Chains A and B, each alone.
Chain A
Amino acid sequence: MSYLNGSGRGRDPARERLSAAIVDLVGSHGFSAIEIETLCERAHVNRGHFSRCFADLEDCFLSVHDEVAADFCARVTSAHEAAATWHDRIWAAGWAAMRYLQEDPVRARFLLVAVNGAGSGAQDRRDRIMQSCADLLDGGRGEAGKRGPMSRCTAEIAAGAIYGTILAKIESGAIERGEEFLSELIYMAVMPYLGSRAAEDELAVQPLH
């Protein structure tokens, strides 16, 4: 699988194999468990070629993570923009995000879990994804009317709640059954803005049907 789409680089099959290999290895075993040699072996690339592509293992991880994150965000943003109302945009974005995570659980782990043990650069990237998520949610303030104190922090709390839930589902292997808990994520997204009763109604929605 290529993660290089739209990166502007010329196509380099060896680099693409390195990208796929690091997603697979880090997604399966965590960043701290892999070494350059293992990665090169998996990608069938020699060490010299690795060094021409990346400064070190962290550079490789961060570069590929940027590509996967861009792919993920583009998919979610595109779905979000296609819907008409804030409520529908949240559902569309949630559904697109879930599909992306479901279709490759190892890639999901690479994108959202492995960043936690891969240094501050990786965490910065995780935080950027979270900020994008909070940006989408923050549109809910326009729907909320006067419901007490509300700033962008409400969106950050909701984004954190959603991230924690997804993380737990990835860790437990339940991400593949994402449609079963998508409505719970939507609950967390809309509850601060539309209120508890409206959020509870979301739980009755069966996205697959």
Chain B
Amino acid sequence: MGCMFWYRFGMADSRSISERLSKLPPGRHLVPRDFVAQNQRERMLLATAELVAERGYQKTTIELIAKTARVALVTFYEQFADKEECFLAAFDENVAAAREVFAELLDPQQPWPDQIAAGLEILLEMVVNEQARAKLCIVEAQAAGGTALARYQAMLESVAPKLREGRELNPRAERLPEGLEVAIAGGLAWLIHQRLVAGRVDGLKELLPEMLQVTLTPYVGEVEAARAAQAAQARAAA
């Protein structure tokens, strides 16, 4: 599972940033125009993630993105109207890639608490191994203007249906707050946000049991949640 996940999300990529951003050979070649444009676009999006993670959205300029991606300024403007559009494209692409990973790795036949445990485990793997992309989606998306903030909120809301399935396990589910699932997603994202800002993601995976405990408690109660958290702890220790 791990290998496939890394492959899909590029986590096992040990190349340096400049290697990852290597451009096609200069001069005329027989590579189709669409392929070149796609390659340039990918380089610009990757450069945006790396730069934004390092300098923050405000201090990232179009010139820097173009220079880091090794494309001409005119090429940037062929693909994006401005920095915000480029940032939003990078955000969308990374969120879509993460969604694909979840769709592929989560087994909807598993008991719901196990799916949540697996989902959180996958999320933390992604954050730890792809910090620049995580920072773009979780930290900088909140700093890059109204549209980015709305997409960040939409990302949190997209998690709600999966969490909401847990209401079937609580016989008093009708009492639960309507916005509970988005609130939990926001709380978990906030914890990750804080670790990314502080550059302390190494110990993040150790927080899985605690994150799981808080996430499951409203649906299965604190005793069952603690049991699931201890199981996650045991898995991590093993």
Contacts and interface: CB of A to CB of B under 8 A. Distances in A.
Contacts of A119: 56, 58, 143
A159 B207 contact: no
Closest 6 CB pairs of A and B: A160-B190, A164-B186, A148-B226, A161-B187, A160-B187, A157-B187
Nearest to B189: A160
10 contacts: A117-B143, A127-B194, A147-B222, A153-B210, A156-B190, A164-B183, A184-B180, A184-B183, A188-B180, A196-B217
Contacts of A160: 186-191, 193
Nearest to A33: B146
B144 to A, nearest CB: 8
Contacts of B186: 160-161, 163-165
Nearest to A117: B145
Contact of B183 (A32, A156, A188, A200): A188
A125 to B, nearest CB: 13
A150 B170 contact: no
Contacts, number: 133
A153 B153 contact: no
A168 interface: yes
A30 interface: yes
A151 B210 contact: yes
A192 B215 CA distance: 9
Interface in A115-169: 116-117, 119-120, 123, 127, 130, 147-151, 153-154, 156-165, 168
Contact of B217 (A116, A130, A192): A192
A157 B190 contact: yes
Contacts of A164: 156, 182-183, 185-187, 189-190
B95 interface: no
B188 A157 contact: yes
Given A181-B179, A184-B183, A195-B221, 12 more contacts: A117-B145, A119-B56, A130-B190, A147-B213, A148-B222, A153-B207, A156-B191, A160-B188, A164-B156, A184-B180, A200-B172, A200-B176
Contact of B218 (A148, A162, A168, A199): A199
Interface of A: 30, 32, 116-117, 119-120, 123, 127, 130, 147-151, 153-154, 156-165, 168, 181, 184, 187-188, 191-192, 195-197, 199-200, 203
B44 interface: no
A151 B188 CA distance: 14
Assign chain B's interface to a size class: 35 or more
Interface string B162-194: 000000001010011111101111111111011
Contacts of B11: none
A147 B175 CA distance: 22
B233 interface: yes
B180 to A, nearest CB: 8
B189 to A, nearest CB: 7
Nearest to B190: A160
Nearest to B219: A196
A33 to B, nearest CB: 10
Which of B176, B186, B189 counts the most chain A CB atoms within 10 A? B186
Contacts of B191: 153, 156-157, 160
B190 A163 contact: yes
A203 B175 contact: yes
Which of B189, B191, B221 counts the most chain A CB atoms within 10 A? B191
Contact of B225 (A116, A117, A148, A188): A148
